[in-house]
Structures are given as C-alpha cells and as structure tokens.
Chains A and B, each alone.
Chain A
C-alpha cells in the first residue's frame, strides 16, 4: 500500500493535526448540544485566539528568544492568551449574533445566516486591521526530533501540541462530566425547558458553553499559529475540518469530537501519502460527504447528555 512504508510517521503527523481538529471540534459539538446550532463563525474564534496569543506574547517578550523554563512559560502564556481571545470572541458572538435571534424565536435559517455574516465580519476586520500576510509567532523551541516510536520520529512541535491538547481535552471532559456547570450544560442539551425548572439559567449556561468552546478553539489557534503563523484566513480550512471531525464523531458528543478529530487527522495524512499533498482537503471533505451519506449520526451519535 502507498502508506505502509511511512505508516507511523504519517500517524504521528496525523495525530498532531488531529489534536488541533479535536480542540476546535469540541466548540462545534458543545454549542450544537445546547442550541442545535452549527456555529459557523467558530473558524473566526480559532483565528482570534491565534491573533490574541500573538499580540499578548509580543507585548510580554517582544522578539527575544525564550529558552529553558522560559519556553514553557511562553507556551503556557500563548495557550492561555489564545484561550482568552477565543473565549471573548465566542462570548460576544453569542451575545450579538445569536441571542437576539433566540429572544424572538427566529427560524433556524436566520441563525445560519447570522453565523455566516458574523464570520465574514470578523474575518474582514482581522484582515483589514492585522494585514494580509501571516505574522510569525517566534518559536520558543528549536523544532527537532525528540524521540522515535515504531521507527517514526516525533518532533518537538508534535510533543507540544499533544501535551497541551491532552491536558485541555481531559479537563473539558471532566468539567462536563463532573461539575455543576457540566451538569447544567448536559441538562440544557437534553431538555432546556426542564433544566430551567430545575433552576438552571439557560442564557448563562449557553454563554458558558460558548466560552468553553472558545477557550479550546482559541488555544488551538495559538498552537496552529506556532507552526504556520497567524493570518486572517487561517480559520477557514482547519475549522471546516474540525466541523467534519465533529460530524464524524457524532455531533453533540464530546468524546466523539475528540475521536473524530484524531481519526480525521490520521486518515487525512494517510490519504495524502496515497495521492499528493494537494489532495489533502479533498480527502478530508470526502470523508464528510461519506459520513453524511452512510452514517449521519457519526461514530458515537448525539449523546452530549451522557456523563461523558
């Protein structure tokens, strides 16, 4: 087979892509859970996180090159900064683009149009304000092989992505499964009206859901930007793929989004090995079409309500 020779290397790079998809996909799936809405402006939440981390890091260290413990601090600050930026934009998005529509019981289509409108708005503002070229986030480490597994070399950048993503994914999984906020989110996802009878402030829970999705999406924007830089167009493709991942795993299901993200990343990389790099997106979106045709509920189906 075309990918057998390089199999484990492809899996490793696929996992790195997949972790980013998983982080972004959680934002889609959580929001879908509470609102039955695909937040198509989530791509710009991801992009905003990238820019937020860029500006925060620039203000904090300028162009000096961090090393040692400073590199870890740099990564932590970038992740937190990206998360905060993403959270802020996601929060505002819900307030400005969706809540007014909810108030007047607008039809589903209005939400979709509002999402697309908000997305274009943020996208173009970023392009106008931050320039048309990618801004480079100074790398806090020299990318090189760290260790090898099954003959595959694992680069520093992959380790950084995997460690940050696993921490965040485990955290969000536990928050949704165990905390009061998580129970509120799951209750609203299952039956919003009854949740309100239990004393759940639905508006607040929806806001918090956007914020959680925004934190993960924004942090992913930073991790993505570490490698590729940040630019106003950066959100479109990764977010659309994360949406694919969310559908693949079963929209509404948190663990499904994680599995879907990792799976998509791996399949996409293996697929490229069989074709050419330019087929990457064709492979990914081919999967979306296939899932929608064969199993529209995805791998795990819609189960945001379950304890995990």
Chain B
C-alpha cells in the first residue's frame, strides 16, 4: 500500500473530527472520499499533509509513519496537496505559483512546466499574470498544476470542482483522468459524487468522522444508500 490510515483520530480541541478511521490506497489508484459537509473529508487530507496531527492512530506513507511530521517534510516524501478553496498565491504570477509547487526540487523544472502547460494551455497563455486575476476555473487549474510541479507520488485533491460551472467541472475531471494515466496515485475529495465515482477505482463514504461504507466505485455508484444520500436521488421504491 502506498498510503494507509489506521484507526486515525483527530480532534479540534475536545471535538473529535475523525473518530478512528481506516483507509488504504494502492500505488496507481484513484480513491475518492465522499460525505456531507463536516463529515471529515478535508480533515482527513489535512491530517495526511501534516496540517493536523492525530491524537491516535497512524498514517503510513510508503512504509514511513508520517502522522507527526511537519507539512514540508511530508511534501518532501512525495505527497502533494491541492487544498480546498484552491489557495493560490494571488499576488504572485502564474509562473511563480508553479515555481512554488516545485519549491523542494533542485534542478530543472522545464519538463514539468511544459507538462502543466500541455494539460492546461490557458496557464501558459497567462503565465505572467498575477494568480489572483484568473477566473475560478483557471485558478483551480493553477492549483492542480502547482501540485503536480513537485512530481508527487500521491496527489491529494480537495474539492476541485467546488464553485465551478458544469462545463469547467467536466474539463477538470477529464484532466484528473489524464493525470492518473501518468501513474500518479490520487486521493480525491468531492461533493460531486457522481463524477467522482465515475472517475475513481474505489470510494469511501464518511459520516460524522467515521467511515460508513467502502467499496469499489462502480458498486458505490449503484448502491441505493449512496444514490439517495449523495447522488440526489429518491430512494428506490421497495417492492
């Protein structure tokens, strides 16, 4: 397993945000984490990145327990996090934002820049522009591109479709599919459950800080409970 969470408990003060969850991701997989607002999805990603430290349990990345590591050390091991709300550096140029993604790397980043500009041609056109002047969709592309610049082994994507128009959402998802084809392992947090499950190999459903379902994505897509709770469908009539 590339990443394993074991019995992970995270608290905000006295309030438990994650109540001992377990999760596994194999090399090359896309795994999605579904759940309502406040279920603990973002907390899970932030704990993996070292922004929160668990009160119990382990986070093992490629054989190393990273649960107590600082974010910059976790990233140096090959975990890249595209955070919720994009969080691009608005007063830095698009180019500088991408260079920030490669902050820990020494040597040439030309190849990776070319790859990002190939995935997101619009970023190439706007590379001198301050990141804050991009549209929401372009900022999301920049956030993903920036996260790719570190050549991650594991890419954490937090709500990449949030607040974007349907057409842009489709484009973002098609790009995530392309990223996966290059062998990058992805943990995807999404509100847009249908799209996420169509893209992912497997999925977990979080409710109130606990995992209530874990299965292959196509089976979750068919599961009546998932369909009702997260895909906005009425429960199948019982006969």
Contacts and interface: CB of A to CB of B under 8 A. Distances in A.
Contacts of B100: 183, 187, 195, 198, 200
A202 B72 CA distance: 8
Interface stretch (B24-32, B34-42, B83-91): B83-91
A197 B89 contact: no
Contacts, number: 71
Interface in B42-83: 49-51, 70-72, 75-76, 80-81, 83
Contacts of B80: 197
B12 interface: no
A191 interface: yes
B101 interface: yes
Q: Name the prevailing secondary structure of the A interface residues.
A: helix
A191 B72 contact: no
B125 to A, nearest CB: 19
Given A187-B89, A190-B89, A190-B90, A196 B103 contact: no
A305 interface: yes
Given A197-B81, A198-B100, A190 B70 contact: no
Q: How large is the interface on A (under 10, 10 to 19, 20 to 34, 35 or more residues)?
A: 20 to 34
- The listed residue with most A CB atoms (<10 A of its CB), out of B49, B92, B101, B146, is B92
A167 to B, nearest CB: 25
A161 B3 CA distance: 58
Contact of B103 (A180, A190, A191, A305): A180
- The listed residue with most A CB atoms (<10 A of its CB), out of B51, B75, B92, B103, is B103
B93 interface: yes
24 contacts: A183-B96, A183-B99, A184-B103, A186-B91, A186-B92, A187-B100, A191-B87, A191-B89, A193-B71, A193-B83, A193-B87, A194-B89, A196-B71, A198-B104, A198-B146, A199-B72, A199-B76, A199-B103, A199-B104, A200-B100, A201-B72, A303-B91, A306-B130, A307-B92
Closest 5 CB pairs of A and B: A305-B91, A199-B104, A196-B71, A199-B75, A194-B87
